A and B are shown apart, each in its own frame.
Chain A
Amino acid sequence: MGLTYQSVGIPATREMFNVKVTDNRSVIALAGNPNTGKSTLFNALTGLRQHTGNWPGKTVLQSKGSFIYKGREYTVVDLPGTYSLLANSVEEQVARDFICFAKPDTTVVVVDATCLERNLNLVLQVMEITEKVIVCVNLIDEARRKKLNVDIQKLSELLGIPAVATAACTGEGLPQLLDLISQVVCGDLKPKPKLVHYSSELENAISKLEPKIKEVLGAELNSRWVALRLLEGDKTLIESLEKFYSQEMIKATREVLA
């Protein structure tokens, strides 16, 4: 198919996000609701080694930085804060496209420990797209102050993905976060996201679509997630496919839709 892969399996589409592609550099995305401390965490991880610019073709700010941990180099990308990844706004589209097409080696979803429930919606959405996800329960100091106790172990079990508590502004929990990131990146730790099961009607429709989507997209995108978007009538996904992939692939996706 029209895709060119580098020998090491770095997605060819990654370069389209102004992210330098080299063999021994892993890419980490920071996702999350607005105001959960993503940029504070980004600064804590990267220090002065960062650049800002715009996302290609968008007026949304892009911050990239790097750090070295246990001899491996990491590029960190601070995604815009969003409540959803359904591409209803430029910010949501930027965040979704980065996760789908730049395929970060790990996505860290930063959530607010003081209002966990509202934040988990985005965690579930990211888990539907990629398995390589860690939940970072930030503002844990604020939660403590409000006498809220977050059971990190339980949260991790319920979601099926690694979880860690942090206070980005004091550095609490960062060593544990770095350790989880490196373990997920090198494959020592394999998150097994527990996905949402929908009504049987919807699940039937998904299983009808999935094989056809797999035929067209191969392992490029999570077929279950694509099926859900197609059923929802999400046109922005097709537009992004057009931008990132070859013509024959788009044509085939449209045929699945028809």
Chain B
Amino acid sequence: MNTRKIISVAVGVLVPIALLAWWYLASAGSLNPFFPPLRDIVVRFKELWLFDHFATDVLPSLGNLFVGFAIAVILGVALGFAMATVPVLNAMLSPVVQFLRGIPPVALIPILITLVGFGNEMRVASIVIAAMFPTMLSTIDGIRSVEPGLKDVGAVYRFSRGDRLLRVYLPSSLPQIVSGMQVSLQVAFIVMIASEMLGSSQGIGAMTLLAQQSFMSADMWAGILLLGLIGFLTNILFDLVKNRVLSWYVSSKRLERAA
């Protein structure tokens, strides 16, 4: 069991290192302008992002990502709660929601550009609108699948409405809400980059696209590398928080599997 775990962690670490080494070696003498040597990419990575453009481009991108994601989650949970607990609202909104969620989020950006303009508001607004749906839909699912036995307990012991919502429905549906949030985070990330590529001169997305259009391949690859890193680290951070908040859920599932 334990050795197996060590092996799997080792494999998880070694394979990416091996891939990077292979990339480094294979690209070392590359004259192909589109695939510059990894060494050049790393040099440009340092020059661009550490920390020349960090404050002007990386921080605003990350800021948009987290602000947009946070608003999306708050709205998604609130609307999900409302739709799952108020039948009239559900009847009214459900068709609209089903239609809107079918539109690829990136397709909304041109509309938003016309509506909100090219500013930062447009980028945050696109992230919010696109990232809201996964959280909202999983909130609805989560609340609909609250154990009826727990609802009965809330009724028999006459919990207040607030306690019922915040101390029964919310924690009970939290596992589903959080997995919806994880999808929302990925969507937010995609839309963040796309919004910068389509309507901005600032941000990691804009710089990466600009590099591609000016045939500065090393800069382009450096941008992609940075985006990959940010996505990777955000996910790790999310998992850490998730395991913290849902420790009861994680442990009870583990116990269930062991039984």
Q: Do A and B come from one complex?
A: no
A contact residues vs B (CB 8 Å cutoff):
none
